[in-house]
Amino acid sequence: MMKACPECGSTEIVSELLVFSGDATTNERPPYVRLVEPTPAKVPFIWLPKSVASGFRAAICGECGFTRFYTKHHAEILAAHRKGYASPDYPLKNILPISLSQCRPSQTQSVRDD
């Protein structure tokens, strides 16, 4: 937790703030990170991957506005990471596949004002 601002040195810190965004506030579900156990080489007949999740807190400097995000469950996240747990794929990439070729124009066009 931030005791003094690393930018301005102020000790006027507002901490322990939950972090919300957009629709998360209507569902009362703040943003979070999640790590999921990797699929084993031999998947048992009944298997559900274990996961570890943690929400964010914020500390904000009252003098300059510097903001730092942190989690209280960092030890659990690190332990899961060391066991090979990884962040799951974002589901939209399966729905809306985006390739670099779609982001670049296929031909260069020049525009002239005459």
At 55, list the tokens.
């929400």
User: Tell me: the pLDDT tens digits for 36-68?
Assistant: 999 889 988 898 999 998 888 999 999 999 999
Q: Which helix (H) or strand (E) holds 14?
A: strand 13-18
Give the amino acid at 107: Q
Q: Are the beta carbons of 8 and 63 closer than 8 angstroms?
A: yes
Using CA atoms, how far apart are residues 22 and 27, in angstroms rounded to an integer? 10
DSSP β-ladder status, 13-18 and 57-61? antiparallel
Of the candidate ranges 31-40, 53-62, 101-110, the one whose mean pLDDT is the lowest: 101-110
**Residue whose C-alpha is closest to residue 35's, from 91, 85, 89:** 85
Q: Between β-strands 57-61 and 67-70, what pairing exists: parallel, antiparallel or unpaired?
A: antiparallel
pLDDT band at 93 (very low <50, low <70, confident <90, very high): low
